[in-house]
Amino acid sequence: MLFNSFEFLVLVLVTLALYYLPLLRRWQVPILIGSSLFFYAWTNPWLLLLFLLSAFVNVATSYQVVHAAPERRFFYAALGVVSNLGILAFFKYSPLIGHSLFPDTSEAGRFLSQIPLPIGISFYTFEGISLLVDAYRERDRHAAQELVPKSIGQHVRNTTLFVAFFPHLIAGPILKAHQFIPQIKPKYLTDIDWEAFFRAVVVGYFLKIVVADNLKEQTFWIAYPYFERQSSLMLITMLFGYSMQIFADFAGYSLIAIGVAHLFGYSLPDNFNFPYISQSITEFWRRWHISLSSFLREYLYIPLGGNRKGETRTYLNLMVVMFLGGLWHGAAWSYAVWGSFHGIALAVERLSGQANRVPRTVLGRVAATLFTFGLVSLAWLLFRLPNFEQALSYLYHMGSNRSFAISGLEYLTIACILIYSLPVVLYHVWYLAQESAVGFGLQRLSYAWYGLMLFLTLTNAGPAGSFIYFQF
């Protein structure tokens, strides 16, 4: 069920009406769970069985982590984490394993290639792991029982809502148990932060419907083999447009999720902090998909030893985390290459001392920002062309098609890409200008800008399409 669909609007309104009905206040959590399961089952009801199996594993093992004998805590935590990763590996990476290890014509190859990819499995698997690890780490008995109460019924409700809460279920932000579960309590209509809801939803839908969906129509020609017949200028512009598109698409989803969560009294973490102003790859990962980068740091990088076990181990940990973070995005080796590319860039910045160094001059900061954006955009090509050979071919043609004449249609496409990319550019420029007199003036006109975005969302929507991160 798409956020930009009539069905989603009906689901939110019906759930909201039942949720705040005084007679049903004690049933708020079951109402949200029911709506969330309905939301997940909308496209493929059979995959709901897998989701419920995953939830059951996390309920059972996390309960034992807190309430079983102390000497058994590690066993149940490890069992839960391994079970989560096993489910994720089987359903997400079976086709990759099949293609890599078996001929496509073999029985094993055919079987593995036909395993369906459940939507959102990467996100709810990580959240299940978060619950297990948070419960295991919590040494204070009272705090542990806040995450995993003694009442098994209450624990089932809390855990199911934590992983199923429909605003974030399909594409995040990735939630951590210690951030979300304490928020589960009776909610009142008067507690809704209407301004936060309005701001997040208006910007989110504008980025998705006006920017990303219109750019999607223009960046279609990145696909193989169409790009082979495009000029270098067209190829460069389309890659720039795709970089704008993927930000608008994913940031738009996250903002809509955050806004809708406000309607039900829940606060979700920010997932983007103007990433395209980053002056290094290190800074980029502090600003892009923050919930994933913080999850990888807290639940993988630090447990591996972080930077506490010497330089060699630090760089190894960095590469392992980014390799696995890349592979988390999709069942193709190109995603692992994408993650490794970022890992190498992070390692080079750390080795050269550039990770946290800010250029002294304005020109230096602009150059660093453009260089970082260029590296990030080149890497995004692996998202649009997961076939590694096709991605390399695109880069080759981007450099070799300089002599191609630019047609009138190409000029029109380039103009459309620049027009629909402009809001993303201005979005970041506005952030940079906030501390200046110009920024103060823009803030005074903020509701005029929100009104303009709302108007354009209603009048200039692109063809509806699923969110890019739904495939992950």
Question: Catalytic amino acids?
Answer: 329
Geometric angle at alpha carbon 145, from 143 and 146, rounded to 5° = 65
Please state, in angstroms and rounded to a whole number, the distance separating the CA atoms of residues 252 and 414: 23
Find the Cα–Cα–Cα–Cα dihedral 343, 346, 347, 350, rounded to 10°. -160
Residue found by looking up tokens 């008067």 in the block: 190
Cβ atoms of residues 141 and 95 within 8 Å: no
Q: How far apart are CA 143 and CA 125, in angstroms?
A: 23
Question: How far out from the chain centre does Cα 219 lie?
Answer: 21
Interior angle at CA 166, CA 161 and CA 168, nearest 5: 100
Which amino acid makes up residue 241?
Answer: G
Any residues with CB less than 8 A from the CB of 75 and at least 6 apart, and which? none
Rounded Cα gap, residues 319 and 149, in angstroms: 38
Q: Rounded to the nearest 5 degrees, what angle is found at the Cα of 262, between the Cα atoms of 295 and 129?
A: 25
What lies within 8 Å, CB to CB, of 57 at 6+ separation is 80, 83, 84, 87, 128
User: Exposure pattern of 412-427 as b/e (b: 16+ CB <10 Å)?
Assistant: ebbebbeebbebbeeb
What length does the chain have?
Answer: 472
Positive or negative torsion for Cα 94, 96, 102, 107: positive
Classify residue 18 by burial, with Cβ atoms within 10 Å: 0-12, 13-18, 19+: middle
Under 8 Å between Cβ of 219 and 277: no
What phi and psi, each to the nearest 5 degrees, are found at residue 114?
-95, 0
Instruction: Please give the Cα distance from 414 to 404 (Å, whole number).
Output: 15
Provide the 10 A C-beta neighbour count for residue 365.
15
Rounded Cα gap, residues 48 and 55, in angstroms: 10
